[in-house]
Amino acid sequence: MTTKSTYSIGQLCELAGVSRRTLQHYDDISLLKPTRRKDNGYREYTEADAMKLKQVLIYRALDFSTKEISQLLNAKNFDLFKSLKEQRELLAEKKADIESMMRNLDENLESMKAKTSRNLDILYEGIPKEKADHWKKAAESRVGSERWESNLQILGSMSEDEAKEFKQRGDVFYAAYADVLDQAISAPEVQELVAQFIAGINSLYASSITDFEELNYETCLEIARMSVEAEDVKQAYDFYGDGLAEHISEAITYYAEENLRRP
Amino acid sequence: MTTKSTYSIGQLCELAGVSRRTLQHYDDISLLKPTRRKDNGYREYTEADAMKLKQVLIYRALDFSTKEISQLLNAKNFDLFKSLKEQRELLAEKKADIESMMRNLDENLESMKAKTSRNLDILYEGIPKEKADHWKKAAESRVGSERWESNLQILGSMSEDEAKEFKQRGDVFYAAYADVLDQAISAPEVQELVAQFIAGINSLYASSITDFEELNYETCLEIARMSVEAEDVKQAYDFYGDGLAEHISEAITYYAEENLRRP
DNA sequence: CCTCGACCTGCACGTTACGTGATAGCCAAG
DNA sequence: CTTGGCTATCACGTAACGTGCAGGTCGAGG
């Protein structure tokens, strides 16, 4: 059973993955007229038409205008073989373009990663070497885990100065927090610090994430959980004061319940 | 000297290789608004805007609509890192598409070449093996030489049956021509055969080359020249009768002078 | 101070390559 | 004989700019 060598418009557009209207349009502008019309006016495309359409689609994928394609395909002395070779050339060029764009992106990605790790260095500055290495490794290994990737990328988007500033503010904050570890999580001093903490995260995110929405109830609870459940985060917190991780975790939870409860 | 970190519309469009109007358009539709307007109303773009434009251009190269790009780039929680990785993915896909199209083309080219050589076999059927091999090689080696490539490709575009038919007609014709070798090139019998010959080439070309123009004066002279100058063609002609190549060459020249002279 | 050319502004209509109906003819099946 | 699925031809809509046009800005030079 040889393939029936004529197609209706519907069959051809199905075959080629283009819309009916596109074929009608190509007919209108004489880019690809069906070989003949049946008596009822229906378009009847042949195998040759299908081949030509394939050519057209390749040129279209190469961003040629229909006018240009028309000139190419209907040129006097049109030579299929040459045309195919030319298309190959152009495709190769386009491929090269894409590869160049990919290399460009890779460079950007690399530089962002590099910056991230440089800024991680800054972040763990002044912390005993073994611990720092341990935490840093844990942090870097999180790249690839959806949730943390963008957190780390915020570091990557900061300049070194900003990173230093960020660390400084962190040091100051956690030192201050260490001073209130003996107070109840509901104590105004504690809650004031937590409010600062949340505000800090908000402004950090807001500056680097477009249209960032302020931390809500659930997200705060999640931060509270992570503070104690992620071992390295917990250790980093506890570095500033014994039991700081658990304390701030509960304090954040309390804060969220009091201030961010759903309406 | 650090690069001045703001651009006018002209500078940015120069830098990015897009038209002024495109940037104005992106401003209109809020895809990429300049960071600020100067007091005189001039658009002032920052480095960050330039980065964003780069993103836009990549997505545009990937055939995203401006609306889609706008949604992607201005999405809540937009994440540059993720976006870059996504772009890499998409570029990889596009590259794969292009590679697939190239493979497809290569297949077509291969099959055309294969058909050409199959039909060359048919063409040299019934001719002593050494000679046939010699001529065939010469013919195939012409692939790559502009002028001959399309001639051979006409063979490639024929079905086997057509090729056989073609050879048969050739055999008949050259046999007939061998019978008039003793007559003058201007003799009516000879000129009648030449007319048939030219008509044959015309119809052959017309059937496989879109909008082919009939052989003109110069082209005929060229055919005449090739008949004797191309060694293998000459030998192929002479196979049908001694001195046929030179005779038909002169006869074609005469025919052209008589019938196809410029007005 | 004036002018000139290069740059910028907004506005409006033109263009390409289709998309999206609306309306109507063809035709095989129930 | 109607119904559902294909087809046809208008005809208007749209996206992403292109292409002027009339007019403001600005630094350099006469």
Q: Minimal CA–CA distance to A229: which of A213, A244, A249? A: A249
Cβ neighbours of B78 in A, within 8 Å: 209-211
**Are A234 and A249 contained in the same domain?**
yes
B91 contact residues in A (CB cutoff 8 A): 98, 101-102, 105
CA Rg value for chain B: 32
The answer to whether B126 CB is within 7 Å of strand C is no
Q: Is residue A253 part of a domain?
A: yes
* Covered bases, chain D (protein CB within 7 Å): 6-9, 15-19, 24-26
Task: Assess whether A113 and A188 both reside in one domain.
Answer: no
Q: Are residues A151 and A95 part of one domain?
A: yes
| Nearest nt by C1' to A67 Cα | C16
Residue B104 lies in a domain: no
Q: pLDDT tens-digit profile of A133-177?
A: 766 676 666 655 555 666 677 777 787 888 888 888 888 989 999
- Report pLDDT for A1: 45
- Which CATH number fits the domain that encloses residue B163? 1.10.490
**Domain boundary pick from B35, B52, B76:** B76
Domain presence at residue B26: yes
DSSP E strands in chain B: the ranges are 6-7, 36-37, 43-46
Cα–Cα distance, A4 to A83 (Å, whole number) = 27
Packing angle of the helix pair B47-61, B80-123 (nearest 10 deg): 30
Contact indicator for B40, B16 with CB cutoff of 8 Å:
no
Mean pLDDT throughout B51-77?
A: 93
> Within this chain, do residues A88 and A69 fall inside the same structural domain, yes or no?
no
CA–CA distance, B170 with A215 (Å, rounded to integer): 86
Mean pLDDT of chain A, nearest integer: 86
Mutate which: B56, B101, B113, vs A, most A CBs within 10 A:
B101
In angstroms, the first-to-last Cα distance of chain B is 70
Q: Does B207 touch chain A (CB under 8 A)?
A: no
CB A260 within 8 A of CB A199: no
| Residue that is last in its domain, among B50, B76, B102 | B76
Mutation for A interface: B210, B214, B219, most A CBs within 10 A:
B210
Neighbour tally for B192: CB within 10 Å? 13
Q: Residue B11 CA to C2 C1' — how many Å?
A: 29
Quick one: B69 and B165 in the same domain?
A: no
A248/A178 same-domain check? yes
Residue A7 φ/ψ, nearest 5 degrees: -125, 145
B190/B196 Cα distance (integer angstroms): 10
A2 has pLDDT over 60: no
A94 touching B, CB under 8 A? yes
b/e code B148-158 from CB counts within 10 Å (16+ = b): bbbebbbbbbb
Contact predicate A156/B81, CB 8 Å: yes
Q: Which of B121 and A94 is assigned the larger pLDDT?
A: A94
Question: H or E stretch including B226?
Answer: helix B217-229
The pLDDT value given to residue B93: 95
**A241 in helix, strand or coil?**
coil
Helices (H), chain A: 9-16, 20-28, 47-61, 66-73, 80-123, 129-141, 146-156, 160-178, 188-208, 217-229, 231-240, 244-259
- Report yes or no: A96 at the B interface, CB cutoff 8 Å: no
Domain that holds residue A251: 160-263
Exposure string for B27-56, b = 16+ CB within 10 A, e = fewer: beeebbebeeeeeeeebebeeebbebbbbb
Report whether pLDDT(A218) > 80.
yes
Residues 6+ apart with CB under 8 A from A72: A59, A64, A78, A83
Q: Write the pLDDT tens digit of every residue in B133-176.
A: 766 676 666 655 555 666 677 777 787 888 888 888 888 989 99
Q: Which of B84, B99, B212 sits opposite A108 (nearest CB)?
A: B84
Of B98, B109, B150, the CB nearest to A94: B98
pLDDT confidence of residue B1: 43
How many domains, chain B? Answer: 2
Q: Does residue A118 sit in the same domain as residue A207?
A: no
